[in-house]
Amino acid sequence: MTINSGKKINPLVVGLISLGAVLVGITTIYTVNRSSSAPNTSDVTVESPPKITKITSIGRIEPRTEVIKISAPLIFNADRVAKLLVEEGQSVKVGETLAILESRDRLQDNLKQAQEQLKVSMAKLNQVKAGAKTGEINAQAATVRRLQAQWEGERASQRANLQRLEAQNLGEISAQKAVILKLQAEFQNAKAEYERYRQLKADGAVSTSQYDAKRVIYQTTSEQVKEAQVNLARIERTGQKQIQEAQANLERIERTGQQQVNEANSTLDQVEEVRPVDVQLAQAEVDSAIATVRKAQTELNQSYISAPIAGQILKIHARPGEKISDDDGLLDMGETQQMEAVAEIYQSDISQIKVGQRATIKGESFAGELKGKVRLIGMQVDKQNVFSNQPGENLDRKVIEVRIELEPQDSEKVKSLTNSQVNIAIDK
């Protein structure tokens, strides 16, 4: 390549210029093609995700008052039901008696006993306050003298009886000893005769019958001596026993007589003087008796189990003759006139729940759907109690209970469906 100047161009420069031209051409073509293929953004509509308008949960149907478990007071633990006065499904009023416990009869007796003791204590207080009359003092002094004389007379009589028994025993012993001495002498004489006749018989000087007669006498007197000695031992033993019994009676008379005289003297002292401390003591006994009556009356009242609210009997757990268990109690009841749905709301959603929000409730135990509104939001996080039983369900979710008040007509529809499972949707 040449130019008008007549100078020769460098081939390297020519190659670089050509390469640059090619690159510019390629860039221009790519830009044009990209511009023609790009969509017009002004004509494209971008769809936003749907807005969530409800909060859903699983829940249950309950009376407004929840299910109340009626049981016996702690003092009647393991008591039995004597009478059951209601049936399942029955409506009851506040304070209406539901059942009577077997301890009722025993507690009635305790109350009567306490009331009688109160009467005695009040009579004693009135007596102390009234003081003693002269006639009462003289009468009590006469009682003291009478008891003293009676005691001395019984003591003297028993001492005389003791002396008589001792003398009688000695006399009988002496007489029996004399009998023994007499029999022993006869025995010795019979023995000597027996020995002599035995020798004479051996010599042939006496007959066998004569010998046998002496032997019989000898044996008889020997037995008489033994019998007399046995009688002596019996007399001594019997006499000693009688003397001991008489001595014991004398000691008893001494002791009881002295006690009676002391008590009579003490009563005389009380009759003669009315002290403020005696009035205070008698008043304290009256106050204690009144407290015992009140306690007995309270315990008796507690043996009648009454309804704490007006409502309906939902389930009976103990019948007449059965014990009331700690777990189940006597029965379950609730205020079914106003039913509610209890929604278990996940703690992550609870901030979106407000009192007054509308709610829709569906369940398998009733047709259609129920309407209501949020009445109360719980203040405690707890574990989930109602589950859908779906595979992969989280059984350890933390929830807060939200109570939904049902419309009156819907409440009536589910009044017999306590604890039935429902699905709840709350409008945001």
269-293 per-position pLDDT tens digit: 766 666 788 888 999 999 999 999 9
Averaged confidence pLDDT in the chain: 84
CA–CA gap between residue 72 and residue 324 (Å, rounded): 7
The answer to whether 118 and 290 have CB atoms below 8 angstroms apart is yes
Average pLDDT score over residue span 234-260: 90
Helix H or strand E segment including 161: helix 134-203
Strands 91-92 and 54-63: unpaired
Alpha helices per DSSP H over 4-53 = 11-37
Selection from 151-155, 322-326, 341-345 with the highest mean pLDDT: 341-345
Q: How confident is the model at residue 86 (pLDDT cuts 50, 70, 90)?
A: very high
Of 20 and 425, the one with more pLDDT: 425
Residue 91, pLDDT > 50, answer: yes
Q: Would you state the structure tokens that stand for residue 108, as one six-digit string?
A: 């009635």
Residue 34, pLDDT > 90, answer: no
Strands 358-363 and 382-383: unpaired
**pLDDT given for residue 337 in this prediction:** 87
Predicted TM-score (pTM) of this structure: 0.46
Of 153 and 386, the one with more pLDDT: 153
- Phi (first) and psi of residue 358, to 5 degrees: -75, 155
List, for residues 376-386, the tens digit of each pLDDT value.
999 999 887 76
- Phi (first) and psi of residue 364, to 5 degrees: -80, -15
The answer to whether 148 and 294 have CB atoms below 8 angstroms apart is no
Residue 21, pLDDT > 50, answer: yes
Selection from 17-31, 115-129, 263-277 with the highest mean pLDDT: 115-129
Residue percentage of the chain with pLDDT more than 70: 83
- The total number of residues shown for the chain amounts to 428
List, for residues 408-424, the tens digit of each pLDDT value.
999 999 988 999 999 99
Cα separations in angstroms, 187 against 7, 221, 226, 284, 288: 200, 5, 11, 83, 82
